[in-house]
Chains A and B, each alone.
Chain A
């Protein structure tokens, strides 16, 4: 965790704005986001559905739907601005080769008519330039790497002959066979059982080490985040509202939305009592958002929250939050006891560690 501070940036998102046109209306999915991804780290992007986390990573891979476009901002990777890419040709140099993705549902991301061996080999041939026997051998190596036994027999089997967890392993093998620098995992375990989830997350962690990957996880499960992430970026209504090292966001979170997310965890609830729940609904992204998007649902909202978008206030070297509560003029707020107890527990663990 400490190491991320000195590491260099591998991908840099600067003032990104993404808009979609839907039935003649314009929806702003990403509202001026700036985010750094550091070499070798594991970053988790956390948010509810509709917060824009998937749109953000799709824009990095050039997979935005046709009605969506980058209105403003830059995505810098290897001194090239991905936001300027217009043709598929340009994207093919990045997609897979440099940045690969593991998607949520292993049931739909594989071709049911091809053996899994062929599907992995395809990537080995295309991205590593190997042929014939060499490509076959390399494919078997990837199958072994993702924890599949009896690889020569498995090579010849079709996706329907595999369980959900095994299929997800194959999807990971395909991603790895492209030799990417960055691996994006979009809800990689949401469709899987918990015991399988634990195995897949462990596998991803091991592979990250082995191949020196930088990984980005997109998830809404804070348990998964705690297991895999070095850093967390919390998204709400198309904006990153807090970013920091995992333990900082968990145990010293500053944005009221981060507090609300943590408070509504059933682990923090007491049986027989009401579980904390966020009032209201997320804002309509078809309308322009003024001030802090979370303000209408925020019990700690200040007057200025409705008027002006908060800047990033620095909490530590690695920890930033977009909330006016961090302004020196802001009044002190009293957090609910369950949340304070959770923070306290975290601090004790930190001291023990």
Chain B
């Protein structure tokens, strides 16, 4: 836990959609690091910008300002062809809805090997088939499935195909955007376990984007909470859940219903009121309040948080 290699560094990222009157700042000065081998969670409500960040790292959304570094090298803006090809292969994505993310008209074989074909990452036809077969086996599907169409599969199996498609590229870093939200409870557990196993076998790093906090708590090592384009709190997942500091994080955590009727009946849901901040007089900064635990706050607030929470300096 002491020394960690930074795999992805997001520095002062700013993403603006539209121009002039229709300008909308989706991401405002966001910075964070993702360490090699960890699962980094990004949670927030719809419209908070969590998917936009994922897509920016995927290079689907253009970056207005700031930098995204992969292995310390810039991946946004103008980059060399070789580097472009390398990151295209090393960074892969798993999508939310397995019903919409697979080409209905293509066979599983084609879906999985499309990336291989595009980057010419195979020696012969036999090698390509071998890779598809291996990817299918890795996600717990039978190699025979390569000749079928997506509609022949259940939601859980389709999501496995989506994972196989990412795996076949032998990536280092996978962005999983709500990979299990569209799945049933019992299938969720299977896919979560699969993701965890694959991470161990292939030394993967995950960026896990989700709104379901119970799953985030189970699967991630560190978590960032994002609210309206700003990260308001970032900490090791257990710290974040046991000692949330920012009022938005507290409200978000208290809103998650727990599967315990006794606790639920007594629980008081905290409500976040963004007008409580006095940021016009004293703008906030992203500060480390205890080791590895960052929050967005101004000096006055940090003072308050320290006294009320009895935080170690």
Decide whether A and B are members of one complex.
Answer: yes
Q: Are B255 and A195 in contact, CB atoms less than 8 angstroms apart?
A: yes
Q: Are B214 and A227 in contact, CB atoms less than 8 angstroms apart?
A: no
**Digit string of A217-255 for contact with B (CB within 8 Å is 1, else 0)?**
000111111110100000000000000001100100000
Among B188, B219, B259, B269, max chain A CB count under 10 A is at: B259
A194 to B210, CA, bound (A): 12
Q: Are A346 and B45 in contact, CB atoms less than 8 angstroms apart?
A: no
Q: Are A346 and B262 in contact, CB atoms less than 8 angstroms apart?
A: yes
Q: Are B269 and A223 in contact, CB atoms less than 8 angstroms apart?
A: no
> Which residues on B sit within 8 Å (CB–CB) of A281?
154, 156
Q: Are A250 and B189 in contact, CB atoms less than 8 angstroms apart?
A: no
Return the chain A residue nearest B196 by Cβ.
A274
Q: Are A265 and B214 in contact, CB atoms less than 8 angstroms apart?
A: yes
Return the chain A residue nearest B44 by Cβ.
A193
Q: Are B190 and A277 in contact, CB atoms less than 8 angstroms apart?
A: yes
Q: Are A349 and B257 in contact, CB atoms less than 8 angstroms apart?
A: no
Q: Are A345 and B260 in contact, CB atoms less than 8 angstroms apart?
A: yes
> Which residues on A sit within 8 Å (CB–CB) of B188?
264, 266
> Which residues on B sit within 8 Å (CB–CB) of A317?
none
B261 close to chain A: CB less than 8 A: yes
Q: Are B45 and A194 in contact, CB atoms less than 8 angstroms apart?
A: yes
Q: Are A194 and B261 in contact, CB atoms less than 8 angstroms apart?
A: no
Q: Are A261 and B185 in contact, CB atoms less than 8 angstroms apart?
A: yes
SS class of chain B's interface: helix, strand, loop or mixed? helix
Return the chain B residue nearest A189 by Cβ.
B257
A15 close to chain B: CB less than 8 A: no
> Which residues on B sit within 8 Å (CB–CB) of A352?
262
Give the contacts of A132-179 with B (CB-CB under 8 A).
164
Q: Are B189 and A276 in contact, CB atoms less than 8 angstroms apart?
A: yes
Q: Are A274 and B258 in contact, CB atoms less than 8 angstroms apart?
A: no
B137 close to chain A: CB less than 8 A: no
A246 to B257, CA, bound (A): 14
A269 close to chain B: CB less than 8 A: yes
A266 to B188, CA, bound (A): 9
Q: Are B263 and A349 in contact, CB atoms less than 8 angstroms apart?
A: yes
Return the chain B residue nearest A271 by Cβ.
B218
B103 close to chain A: CB less than 8 A: no
> Which residues on A sit within 8 Å (CB–CB) of B192?
266, 275
Q: Are B257 and A223 in contact, CB atoms less than 8 angstroms apart?
A: yes
> Which residues on A sit within 8 Å (CB–CB) of B265?
227
> Which residues on B sit within 8 Å (CB–CB) of A35?
none
> Which residues on B sit within 8 Å (CB–CB) of A275?
189, 192-193, 218
Q: Are A193 and B45 in contact, CB atoms less than 8 angstroms apart?
A: yes
> Which residues on A sit within 8 Å (CB–CB) of B252?
194-195
Instruction: State the Cβ distance, A311 to closest chain B Cβ, in Å.
Output: 25
A214 to B216, CA, bound (A): 35
> Which residues on B sit within 8 Å (CB–CB) of A265?
185, 214, 259
Instruction: State the Cβ distance, A274 to closest chain B Cβ, in Å.
Output: 5
> Which residues on A sit within 8 Å (CB–CB) of B264?
223, 226-227
B119 close to chain A: CB less than 8 A: no
**Digit string of B186-201 for contact with A (CB within 8 Å is 1, else 0)?**
1011101100100000
Q: Are A221 and B257 in contact, CB atoms less than 8 angstroms apart?
A: yes
A196 to B257, CA, bound (A): 12
Q: Are A49 and B189 in contact, CB atoms less than 8 angstroms apart?
A: no
A249 to B213, CA, bound (A): 24
> Which residues on B sit within 8 Å (CB–CB) of A269?
218
Q: Are A264 and B257 in contact, CB atoms less than 8 angstroms apart?
A: no
Return the chain B residue nearest A224 by Cβ.
B257
Q: Are A48 and B45 in contact, CB atoms less than 8 angstroms apart?
A: no
Q: Are B260 and A266 in contact, CB atoms less than 8 angstroms apart?
A: no
* Known contacts A195-B45, A276-B189, A278-B186; is-contact A267 B259 (Cβ 8 Å): yes
16 A-B pairs in the complex with CB atoms less than 8 angstroms apart: A48-B184, A193-B45, A194-B213, A197-B255, A199-B269, A221-B257, A227-B265, A261-B185, A265-B185, A265-B259, A266-B188, A274-B193, A275-B193, A345-B260, A350-B262, A353-B262
Beyond contacts A49-B184, A193-B45, A198-B255: 15 other A-B pairs, Cβ-Cβ < 8 A, are: A194-B45, A194-B252, A227-B264, A246-B261, A250-B260, A264-B185, A264-B188, A266-B189, A271-B218, A274-B193, A275-B189, A275-B193, A281-B154, A346-B262, A350-B262
Point out residues on B near A: beta carbons under 8 Å: 45-46, 154-156, 184-186, 188-190, 192-193, 196, 211, 213-215, 217-219, 251-252, 254-265, 269, 271-272
